[in-house]
Amino acid sequence: MAKIFYSLSGEGRGHATRVRAVVEGLRERHDVTLFAYGDAYRLLKEAYGPGGIRVCPIRGMRFRYGEGRLDYLRTGWAGLRFLSGRLGKLVGHLEARIRREKPDLCITDFEPALPRAAARCGVPFVSLDHQHFLVVSDLSELPLRLRALAGLMGLVVRAYAPGPAKTIVSSFYSPPLRRPYRGGTAQVGVLLRPEVLRARPRRAGHLTAYFRRPVPGAVLQTLARCPLPVHVYGLGQRPPWGAVHFFPVSVEGFLGDLASAEALICTAGNQLVGEALYLQKPVLALPEPGNVEQAINARFLKISGGGEWSEAEDFDLPRLEDFLASLERLRRAIVPERVAGNAAALEALSSFLDQMPEEDPSQAAGPGPRSVPGKTVETSPLG
C-alpha cells in the first residue's frame, strides 16, 4: 500500500469528476489524501464525507469571467497575485505536511502548490489532467492562430506542474504526441465517475443542455424553437421558454437526463463531452467565447466524428436543424470503449508505483531529490 497525496484545481466540476474516478480505483489498495478548493472541494467533501478519504481545503486561483466569456486580463492579474503571495505560503504548508506524513507519491490535476512542495521534499509527482495536452500534443491539424494560442497556454501549463516524473493526459481525443514527450507520457481516455459507468443509455426524445456560464441570448432563443424538448442545466430554475425547460443543478437529475437524451448541447469542456460520448450521445459543442482550450476541444470533437461545434454567437436554427439531421451518422461514429480511460490511467499509475525504488524510511521525504523511474526529480526554480 502506498500513501498518496493528490491535489486538484477547484475551477468547475471537471477536475473533481476526473479525480473522483481515479480515487475510486486507488482507494482499495492505497491511502489517499485529497487537497482541493472551490467547487472541487465542495463536491469531493460531499462525495466522501467521513468515508475514509480525507479531503483537505487549500487556497487556489480562480478564473475570472465578464460578459459571458473568460476575462484573460483579470484572470492573469488574479494569477499574478496568487503566485506572488498565497502560493508560497501554501507550498510551505504542504511541504511541512509532506515531511510529517511522508507520502510515497504526489499526484496533481492542474494545481501548482503540491508539485512544488513535493519537489522540495524529493518526492516524485505525477501530472494527471487534461490541460497537458497543450504541452505534449502535436496540434498541427489546428488553424495557425489557435496553434499559436495553444503554445502560449502550454507555457502556463508547464509552469503549473514543472518536472513531473510522469505525465498522464486524459482526453476524449488523442492527437499524436510531440517527439520529446513520447517516452514519459501516457494518453488515456476520459476518467468516468462511478455514476456514469453504471448509467444505461436510452433515448427518450429530448435534448439535454448544460451551460456553466451565462450564454448569449441568441443561444436560448434558438433552443426555444427546437422541435424537441430541451432540458437545460446550469442556468438555474426558471419558467419554461418555448421548447426549453430549465432545471436546477442536480448530479443525479442531470445524469439521468443525459443518459436518456437524444444528444447533448454544451460548452466544450473535455470531461462532459467525454461522458456524453461514452453514453453514445452526439454532442453539439458551443465553446465559451475566448476559451482556447474549449475551442481546441470543439475542433477535435468534430474530427473524432462524434459531434459538431459552433461559435455561440453564430448558433442559429439552421445550425441546430443540421445537427439534429446528422444524429444517426454521429451516433454511429462513437466508440464508447475508446472514450473510457479509467483502466488505462490506473494501469499507468500502478506501473509507476511498482517501479519506484524502496526508500530508506530514515531518508523518506528528506531534503534531497528522490530517484524515480527514468529520471530524477529536481527542485523547480519556479517553486
CB atoms within 10 A of CB 54: 13
Cβ proximity of 12 and 269 under 8 Å: yes
Task: Compute the half-sphere exposure of residue 92: CA atoms within 13 Å on the CB side of its CA.
Answer: 5
C-alpha–C-alpha distance, residues 44 and 111, integer Å: 16
- State the number of CA atoms in the 13 A half-sphere of 327 facing the CB: 15
Encode 63-101: b = buried (16+ Cβ within 10 Å), e = exposed: bebeebebeeeebeeebeebeeeebeebbeebbebbbee
pLDDT tens across the length of the chain (383 residues): 899 999 998 666 788 889 999 999 999 899 999 999 988 898 899 888 776 799 999 987 655 555 555 555 555 555 656 665 678 889 999 999 999 999 999 999 999 999 999 999 999 999 999 999 999 999 999 999 999 999 998 988 888 888 899 999 999 999 999 999 998 899 999 999 999 999 999 999 999 999 976 788 889 999 999 999 999 999 988 999 999 999 998 888 999 999 999 999 999 999 999 999 999 999 999 998 888 999 999 999 999 999 999 999 999 999 999 999 999 999 999 999 999 999 999 999 999 998 877 655 444 444 444 544 544 333 332 33
| Helix (H/G/I), strand (E/B), else coil: 322 | helix
- State the pLDDT at residue 360: 52
Per-residue model confidence (pLDDT) at position 76 = 57
pTM: 0.86
- Complete domains list, the chain, with CATH: 3-191+341-376 (3.40.50.2000), 195-337 (3.40.50.2000)
